[in-house]
């Protein structure tokens, strides 16, 4: 399977807008791992924020250095998004290093598994030895995505009345 992780750029505006709309059309208002693409009307504003957040000098002081990647398939269709938060502080101590989503009409094709695999390769190149990922226990596809990438259960916490589990992936 050919999936490519690409940093968001100005030329992705139309694809990103269609990607975002695909979630809303499917009745999903939250796009996990999208660094608030779901809540930001202006692509330019979102692009500036995610670009600023890649750098220690320009990161939002209320956030942590974060890499955000679009995932493109072999036909160069934008099928997913994944982020990598370099530091765990505040609520991220529970939420972990990484969130991701696959376009609703492109699920169950192995894309999330491959996106996370590529992200782990990148994190290793950045010098990380392990990543922590959290998932609501009832989110079976995401649990499988993490376990298939080597995640082992560490602990649980309560989130919005549900049980969420923290996994660790050794790189
Ligand atoms: C979680 C999510 C990213 C998975 O994406 P995906 O591309 O469909 O995942 P994959 O195709 O790589 O499948 C991963 C595993 O989950 C399984 N799976 C997929 N959909 C499933 C479902 N509805 N129920 C049970 N298992 C499912 C797959 O079969 C696969 O396991 P297997 O290889 O053992 O068969 C996607 O469902 C999504 O975007 N959900 C909304 C956002 C979210 O929950 N993100 C994660 C929290 S940060």
Rounding to the nearest 10 degrees, give the CA dihedral for residues 90, 167, 105, 41. Answer: 10
Flag whether pLDDT at 28 surpasses 90. Answer: yes
Residue 62 lies in a domain: yes
Residue 154 lies in a domain: no
Q: Give the rounded percent of residues in the chain with a pLDDT score beyond 90.
A: 97
Flag whether pLDDT at 58 surpasses 90. Answer: yes
Residue 147 lies in a domain: no
Question: Which structural domain range is residue 23 located in?
Answer: 4-128
- Report the CATH number that the domain containing residue 107 is assigned in CATH: 3.40.630.30
Residues 122-160: pLDDT tens digits?
999 999 999 999 999 999 999 999 999 999 999 999 988
Q: Does 149 sit in the ligand 1 pocket, CB within 6 Å?
A: no
Residue 17 lies in a domain: yes
Residue 84 lies in a domain: yes
- Domain tally for the chain? 1
What integer pLDDT is reported at residue 1 of this predicted model? 81
Of all protein residues, the one whose alpha carbon is nearest to atom 42 of ligand 1 is: 101
Best substitution site from 141, 150, 166 to test ligand 1's pocket, by max atoms within 8 Å of Cβ? 141
Of all protein residues, the one whose alpha carbon is nearest to atom 9 of ligand 1 is: 112
Q: Does 143 sit in the ligand 1 pocket, CB within 6 Å?
A: no
| 88 C-alpha to ligand 1 centroid (Å) | 24
For residues 104-110, average pLDDT: 97
Residue 164 lies in a domain: no
Residue 43 lies in a domain: yes
Residue 134 lies in a domain: no
């Amino acid at each position: 399977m050919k999936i490519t992780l690409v940093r968001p750029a100005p030329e992705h505006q139309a694809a990103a807008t269609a990607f975002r709309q695909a979630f809303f059309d499917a009745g999903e208002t939250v796009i996990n791992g999208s660094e608030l693409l779901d809540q930001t009307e202006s692509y330019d504003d979102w692009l500036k924020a995610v670009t600023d957040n890649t750098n220690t000098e320009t990161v939002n002081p209320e956030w942590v250095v974060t890499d955000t990647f679009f995932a493109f398939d072999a036909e160069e269709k934008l099928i997913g998004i994944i982020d990598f938060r370099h530091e765990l502080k505040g609520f991220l101590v529970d939420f972990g290093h990484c969130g991701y989503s696959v376009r609703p009409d492109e699920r169950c094709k192995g894309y999330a598994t491959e996106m996370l695999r590529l992200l782990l390769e990148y994190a290793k190149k950045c010098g990380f030895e392990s990543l922590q990922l959290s998932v609501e226990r009832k989110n079976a596809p995401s649990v499988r995505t993490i376990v298939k990438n080597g995640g082992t259960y560490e602990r649980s916490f309560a989130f919005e009345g549900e049980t969420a589990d923290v996994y660790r992936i050794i790189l």
